[in-house]
Amino acid sequence: MRTGRRDVVLLHGWGFGAGIWDRLAGLLPRALRTTTLDLPGYGNLKGGALPQSVEATARRLLGGAPAPALWVGWSFGGMVALAVAAARPERVAALVLVGASAKFLAAADWPAGVQPSQLNDFRVRLAQDPRACLIGFARLAAWGSTDVRATHAQLLRCLNAAPLPSLRCLRHGLDLLAGSDLRAALARMQCPVVLVRGEGDAFVSATAAGAMRALNPTLAVITVAGGGHALPVSHASALRDSVVAVLG
């Protein structure tokens, strides 16, 4: 699959900033031009109003992105990348969704999602101690990796490398995760879409991957053996291979 230009946009997820991509960015071929974006509330986009939907988040990011480009989004960043492609398909040549689902929360018509009780638990922990909550999230993200301890340690290094997002930003991110539904967007997607998930991903199960493929039969699913939710730090080489394969 060829994208025309060799531009790659990397989009992080909830809780962790753009540093989550450091390993992958260092492995990508030099011929690629890589743009790493901050979500609103993180890094260079700290402060100010926060977009009230995943679609509004996508619109906010488009101004800083090259076009056309291959968008690589991790976790919530993958949902934003889907929204970008739905809003401006001419700006997105292909998508690589890393541990990302079209709908995060489970529902009667989407049993493959995460249970609302688990998200509510995050809300409670976040109110009590934001850093402890993010450390707990890192532990869940590391779960399923061949070396859980090393993956968790790598995630904590990413967490400690930059100031934490504000409590307001983190709460808002959970709200967007709870309220976003990109299933219709995925079903209509015309560009190549690849889902890369770890076989032990605690948030995007094999059942979720199958449900996404049922929405869009052209979706390619790559399951990384020995991987969990934290593929950008635990299996950056496998992600590099997926990106290069999409570029063709």
Q: Residues near 118 by Cβ (< 8 Å), separated by ≥ 6?
A: none
Show the tokens assigned to 156: 């904590």
CA torsion angle 197 201 207 211 (round to 10): -50
In whole angstroms, what is the distance from residue 232 CA to residue 167 CA?
Answer: 24
In whole angstroms, what is the distance from residue 188 CA to residue 214 CA?
Answer: 12
Nearest-5° angle of CA 199, CA 204, CA 209?
Answer: 80
| Catalytic residue from among 7, 75, 145, 234 | 75
DSSP-based three-state secondary structure for 40: coil
In whole angstroms, what is the distance from residue 247 CA to residue 5 CA?
Answer: 9
Q: Is 75 a catalytic residue?
A: yes
Q: Is 101 a catalytic residue?
A: no
* Strand 220-224 relative to strand 33-37, pairing: unpaired
Calculate Rg over the CA atoms of the chain. Answer: 16
| Catalytic residue from among 172, 201, 234, 235 | 201
* Strand 33-37 relative to strand 69-74, pairing: unpaired
| Catalytic residue from among 12, 172, 229, 235 | 229
Q: Is 121 a catalytic residue?
A: no
Residues annotated as catalytic (active site), given as ranges: 75, 201, 229
